[in-house]
Structure 1
Amino acid sequence: MVVAGLVVLAGLGTAAATGSLDAGSTASTPPIAEGVGSAVTSTATPRGQAMGTPDGRRGSVVPDFTADPPVRVPMTDAELAESLRVRADQAWSLVLEQQPDAVRPDARMERVVDDEEDYAEQQVACLRDAGVTAFTEGQSSFSITDGDPVAVYACSVRFPLRDSGGRTDAELAYIHDYYVSYLIPCYAAEGRPYVGEVPAVDDFIADVRAERPWTPFPDAMSDGVAAACPVLPAAYR
């Protein structure tokens, strides 16, 4: 079993997503990017220039996306403690799915780990001390061989990776602005124009909170398109 160190703030920060989200819905009307409200100053060029030719031929102009991301406010000590409690409860519920009669150990947080590489090394050390066969893999992952779920739980509680929390409304507005100002024009320039409704920023945020995120991603994306048009702004990659 390979356990990722943790993918933090991936994609839209939804509970179940790490960047792999449903493709955008399709409709008969083209997107109207400049009609969408945004809490972030848009850097989009006029639609006719940004979107290029109506049939999405290559060579259309793609505007630069230079907006600065919103400043993230760190969690307070109380918020961090509550976040760790919730995560521990969720982790224990997974243990009970495997071992319904398991007794929850009195594991307490000893150190919050800030770095993913350090987290993987700390987990492996903790698991080995508990008699579990564990190895680091790459820089920020580790593998477990037939590990006791209770021991795995205890190590995750004793040495948790710092959780920066889900996306804030300001961060989601920033991503929405990136989709409209840069990503949709970029797909058009690559010959994969988005055809569909573009939600207003408030609706976009509400849909993400309801775990029904809208994205303008193509149904199938080649490596070339993915490289030319990153699905997230540079600040969140």
Structure 2
Amino acid sequence: MTSTENTARVAIVTGGSRGIGRETAERLASDGFAVVINYAGNKVAADEAVTAITGKGGQAIAVRGDVADEGDMTAVFDAARNTYGGVDVVVHAAGTMYLAPVVDIDLDALDRMHRTNIRGTFVVDQLAAKQVRDGGAIINFSTSVVGLAIPSYAAYAATKGAVEAMTLILARELRGRGITVNAVAPGPTATALFLDGKDEETISRMAAQPPLERLGKPEDIADVVSFLAGPAHWINGQVIRANGGII
């Protein structure tokens, strides 16, 4: 398919091979987007995500790349343009998380998390600001933990606080182009990233926190992204706490 033959809106989803990213990629494809799935290293999972979309008649390709490497991500944006003609929506769902009290945090782990979550967001958002077509959307990912102040989450929440600051400022920097910039801040959501290393008691306790009395599901978050990528064009420069009502 050449770019001149494609009429769909085009979305790049970083971290699109699993979890919330994959659910988001599939949801946007069902909304009619041609989707470029960016993945860090798990080619098998990325190819499975592409197959899930194309098997239902959608359009998708997978492109490997480290979100913190500007060369890698330039190649992802180039693939979107060369395959589908441009970029309308960028969903930056890739991220990493290490949990430990401040007194115990491994500083090498902290640096790795800063590289992916902070530098990675700058790299992706910078390219998005240059290449997203007027009228499009940029959607970053934060976390509800920024406001909940849960012990052991300080380092992770600090990186996501930076993401929120970038989001609010970039929305104002793109004045005049009709591009919205927002962040989605999930609460506890049943993904591998969240469940890894937690015992059943901890998971049950966190699932009981929202008034809706359950963990979030990846599709709950994908619904919010779909809204921001499509009809919600009057929402701009906001952080949406998608957490079932946890205060």
TM-score bracket for the superposition, by shorter chain length? under 0.3
Higher helix share: 2
Superposition TM-score, scaled by structure 1 size: 0.27
Larger relative contact order (Cα-Cα within 8 Å, sequence gap ≥ 6): 1
Q: TM-score, normalised by structure 2?
A: 0.26
* Higher share of residues assigned strand: 2
